[in-house]
């Protein structure tokens, strides 16, 4: 088998919809990975024999991209919770503190919201750049 045949075979074996269904059913992610490795052991060994050192750098970069995307998903998932929690906190401070303190809260809330949006935009830009570099490689 050549490299593209092996990659296509492994890609077909790793169907995201089926993986997502397994996760929804409560299957542990380690079990999913180990099952995939066991089912595709021959192709994976052949793939490792065909890959040179330059591919391992690419695999490390793809792993870092996946980690970055995972963190981005986590931030997006928690963003609504944090915003709601901030609003409740600011509302409770307005009840307790004098009105001149409220303007400071508005400024800090503004800065927190914009810094969160900046981080999300920066992570999306980094992901887009990495994916485009990977596509042209």
Percentage of the chain beyond pLDDT 70 is: 60
* Residue in 75, 64, 57, 71 with CA at minimum distance from that of residue 130: 64
- Per-residue pLDDT at 31 exceeds 90: yes
Q: Is the pLDDT of residue 1 over 80?
A: no
CA distance linking residue 132 with residue 135, whole number of Å:
5
DSSP H/E element including 127: helix 99-136
Tens digits of per-residue pLDDT, 49-82? 887 777 778 778 888 888 888 888 888 888 866 6
What pLDDT does 70 receive?
85
Residue 116, class by beta-carbon neighbours within 10 Å (0-12 exposed, 13-18 middle, 19+ buried)?
A: middle
- CA 104/CA 66 separation, integer angstroms: 38
Per-residue confidence (pLDDT) for residue 117, from 0 to 100: 58
Q: How far, CA to CA in Å, does 28 sit from each of 18, 21, 22, 34, 77?
A: 14, 12, 8, 10, 21
Average pLDDT in the chain:
75
More confident position, 82 or 45: 45
pLDDT value for 107: 59
For 25-49, what is the mean pLDDT? 90
Average pLDDT (102-115) is 56
By the 8 A CB rule, do 42 and 19 touch? Answer: no
Q: What is the pTM of this model?
A: 0.51
Q: Helix 29-39 vs helix 16-24: angle between axes, to the nearest 10 degrees?
A: 140
């Amino acid at each position: 088998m050549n490299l593209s045949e092996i990659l296509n075979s492994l890609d077909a074996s790793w169907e995201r919809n089926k993986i997502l269904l397994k996760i929804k059913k409560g299957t542990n992610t380690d079990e999913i990975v180990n099952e995939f490795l066991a089912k595709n052991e021959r192709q994976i060994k052949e793939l490792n024999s065909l890959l040179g050192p330059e591919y391992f750098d690419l695999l490390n970069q793809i792993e870092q991209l996946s980690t970055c995307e995972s963190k981005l998903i986590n931030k997006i998932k928690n963003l609504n919770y944090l915003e709601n929690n901030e609003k409740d906190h600011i509302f409770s401070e307005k009840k307790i503190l004098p009105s001149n303190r409220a303007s400071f809260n508005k400024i800090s809330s503004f800065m927190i919201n914009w810094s969160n949006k900046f981080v999300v935009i920066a992570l999306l830009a980094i992901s887009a750049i990495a994916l485009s570099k990977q596509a042209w490689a």
